[in-house]
Amino acid sequence: MGIETIGTWKCFGGTQGIYRHASEATGTDMRVSVFMPPESASPPPVLYWLSGLTCTEENFTVKAGAQRYAAEHGLAIVAPDTSPRGEGVANVDDYDFGQGAGFYVDATQAPWAEHFRMYSYVSEELPALIAKSFAVDGSRQGICGHSMGGHGALTVAMRNPQRFRALSAVSPIVAPSRTPWGEKALAGYLGEDREAWLAHDACALVETRGWGGDILVDQGTDDEFLADKLRPELFEEACGKAGVPLTLRMQEGYDHSYYFVATVIGDHIAWHAERLKRD
Ligand SMILES: N[C@@H](CCC(=O)N[C@@H](CS)C(=O)NCC(=O)O)C(=O)O
């Protein structure tokens, strides 16, 4: 399946592009942002970025300021939309469920099961499409994300360690089976069997599957969602039990916005670049 260019712009010596393609996983067109760093002797490693509630491929692209760091470190960045969209795609008038809130799962419940297959999309279809369509090193891939996208990054990586070798998150949802955003989404997409939710719960996954490397998480202390919806201390506890090295940085005074993402994105890109360039 081909990829269609919506627009490209020269940026920090590289190319920022927005693309569209027909997705087999979702049965819809999907839009994706791809930054390619300045050309170098070898194809760049790839960092996947998964965005949070209400986002499209655009929020990260225009707000995070990631391109400067990706160009410096020679990393490609791929940032997909957060759900299928369009005519004939189910939706509700909620910011935290339905379109813009795919939660990186494959829905099993009607009417969502038909198109809401974001797990298959980001873990299988998108990496294959990117490796085919861009001059990148598909054997060196990392994944990172924000909020719902932090949940996506943690869970997709731990379920696909052969595909992703570096992992970090900003303000992630870490225990969706026990916190409000996650409980609503997992019940809606996967049904009431809470056992099935654990396959998409970072705390449960780190205890059952572990992770072969270390994990970086940044979290603002003034985040309005910290106490009830994010709860990074649960992930810290789970990583401790599993013996997985976690660097959890509680960043004083920052909230949940992209101003925080922009503040820490340089560290995350450097962190991924270091791990992805190791032999
Ligand atoms: N206050 C937000 C809650 C959702 C939210 O904070 N979304 C975060 C991710 S969980 C985001 O990245 N929003 C888009 C942006 O800031 O550009 C709303 O109701 O729209």
> Do the strands 76-80 and 29-36 form a parallel or antiparallel pair, or are they unpaired?
antiparallel
Is 256 noted as a catalytic residue in this protein?
yes
Could you tell me the distance, in angstroms and rounded to a whole number, from the CA of residue 52 to the centre of ligand 1? Answer: 7
The answer to whether 174 and 199 have CB atoms below 8 angstroms apart is no
Label residue 155 exposed, middle or buried (CB < 10 Å: 0-12, 13-18, 19+). buried
Q: ∠ CA 218-98-261 to the nearest 5 degrees? A: 20
Rounded to the nearest integer, the mean pLDDT of the chain is 98
Which domains does the chain carry?
3-276 (3.40.50.1820)
Is 147 noted as a catalytic residue in this protein?
yes
> Do the strands 246-251 and 14-22 form a parallel or antiparallel pair, or are they unpaired?
unpaired
49, 51, 55, best to mutate for ligand 1 pocket (most atoms within 8 Å of CB): 55
Atom of ligand 1 nearest to the CA of 59: 17
Q: Which two tokens stand for residue 44?
A: 């760049």
Is 151 noted as a catalytic residue in this protein?
no
51, 228, 256, 263, best to mutate for ligand 1 pocket (most atoms within 8 Å of CB): 256
**In 10 A of CB 274, how many CB atoms?**
11
Kind and range of the H or E run holding 14: strand 14-22
pLDDT single digits (tens) 87-99: 999 999 999 999 9
**Protein residue closest via CA to atom 3 of ligand 1:** 53
Label residue 66 exposed, middle or buried (CB < 10 Å: 0-12, 13-18, 19+). buried
Has residue 1 got a pLDDT over 60? Answer: no
The answer to whether 45 and 140 have CB atoms below 8 angstroms apart is yes
**Protein residue closest via CA to atom 14 of ligand 1:** 55
Q: Would the pTM of this model clear 0.95, i.e. be above it?
A: yes
pLDDT single digits (tens) 168-220: 999 999 999 999 999 999 999 999 999 999 999 999 999 999 999 999 999 99
